[in-house]
Chain A
């Protein structure tokens, strides 16, 4: 038991933080892209003639959300090595 505690205390918290961080990133990006998708689908249902414009805008906005998410993912990746 004390051996286990010793291992736990000596272990680096980097991977732990990276794992939790990656999970939070996934939640955040999921909410963001989900909202964009929901509203885009709603918009297309209301105005089918604006399909192309809505789709283009949705892709760009999703890319913004994804950009921040990937930024955080890269930081998680760096934290894992520490």
Chain B
């Protein structure tokens, strides 16, 4: 027994030392210019130009924001990148090229393919002056066509960006993972039938699916109506969970911060809101616009509040998921970043341990956030599809 304990402790120590060497190795390569060959040095200067690093000081907040945000390429380690395709539609036709060309633009004009200007993570099609230089406004932003957004879509001065960015790649990856898991589980049920005890992956997924059905859907939506909404709830649950966990993988296939992207969480919350609007019953709307059993002035006041409540619920869903996941990523990055600020071996070891602890906590948060999102969606849908009760007081008690 003691021997086992000793071995496990030894293994832990070895593992920690192993981890801290990673961090210290990273320090070494960062600050040992002798080892860099000329070609690498060239790439280095280009990259430095690209990121506009005037001082060599490590800028932690820029580093964190860069990794939390979306990007055209995956930064794996050091000078290793995974380049993703950039797809632009500028009204005349599609332009498809590798994001590597964005990072290494033409030396004299600083343009990619003669027209695209990439600066501070922003892609533009700038206007050029007579010397072939990019025209800038007083803020230092290039003048010309910018990326289309919801607010300026109709303007002629935009181009449409359909690039496979990190987040888009992350979405495709989680889609693939979900297809692989659920097709294999569905096949297992088809092959062996539903009467036999589940095995392997099928067993694991059955436990989770039954959990979503019994613990999340049925208490809020009711047994009869659950089958109608269960597919959506299951999709949301597993999609968020898998995306959260893929985001925690620090290297290439994961590392995209998909569920920490406000557009992603907005879409999911918007779909939940759509379900409320599509399936909302008369009983639900009457409770919002003309609350029964209270005087008329109170009815009017409640109508305003309850109508706002319809929108604030999905809004808080959106913010909660976005903020939780982004905050988790920022905390892990900050802890790791302390090493690069202090540049100390001991601190490297300590922060390694800390980041492992934070990763474990984030695994828990990944599951809890998927659970909360699904549960609150079920609650919203449940309130919307509720049938009127004969015993009113009882019905009120049931859904509060």
Contacts and interface: CB of A to CB of B under 8 A. Distances in A.
Tell me, yes or no, whether A binds B: yes
B375 A60 contact: yes
B323 A63 contact: no
Contacts of B82: none
Contact of B319 (A56, A59, A60, A70): A70
If over half of B's interface residues share one DSSP class (helix, strand or loop), that class is named, otherwise mixed; here it is: helix
Chain B, interface size: which category? 10 to 19
B181 interface: no
B319 A71 contact: yes
A73 B319 CA distance: 11
Scoring A56, A67, A74 by chain B CB atoms within 10 A of each residue's CB, the highest score goes to A67
A67 B319 contact: yes
B80 to A, nearest CB: 30
B372 A71 contact: no
Contact of A63 (B215, B322, B327, B372): B372
Interface in B323-378: 323-324, 327, 368, 371-372, 375-376
Interface string A53-82: 000100110010011001101100000000
Given A59-B372, A63-B372, A74 B324 contact: no
Interface string B312-323: 000010011011
Contact of A71 (B323, B368, B371, B375): B323
Contacts of B372: 59-60, 63
Interface string B300-321: 0000000000000000100110
Nearest to A80: B61
Nearest to B320: A67
B130 to A, nearest CB: 36
| Chain A interface main SS type | helix
Contacts, number: 30
A6 B302 CA distance: 52
B368 A70 contact: no
B316 A71 contact: yes
Nearest to A70: B323
Contacts of A67: 316, 319-320, 323
B215 A66 contact: no
A73 B331 CA distance: 13
B327 A73 contact: yes
B13 to A, nearest CB: 34
A56 B215 contact: yes
B368 A63 contact: yes
Contacts of A71: 316, 319, 323
B83 to A, nearest CB: 30
A47 B100 CA distance: 62
B29 to A, nearest CB: 31
A70 B215 contact: no
Nearest to B324: A70
A71 B324 CA distance: 10
B320 A70 contact: yes
- 5 A-B pairs with least C-beta separation: A70-B323, A67-B320, A63-B372, A67-B316, A74-B323
27 contacts: A56-B215, A59-B368, A59-B371, A59-B372, A60-B372, A60-B375, A60-B376, A63-B320, A63-B368, A63-B372, A63-B376, A66-B320, A67-B319, A67-B320, A67-B323, A70-B320, A70-B323, A70-B324, A70-B327, A71-B316, A71-B319, A71-B323, A73-B323, A73-B327, A74-B319, A74-B322, A74-B323
Given A63-B376, A71-B319, 9 more contacts: A59-B371, A59-B372, A63-B372, A66-B320, A66-B324, A70-B323, A70-B327, A71-B323, A74-B322
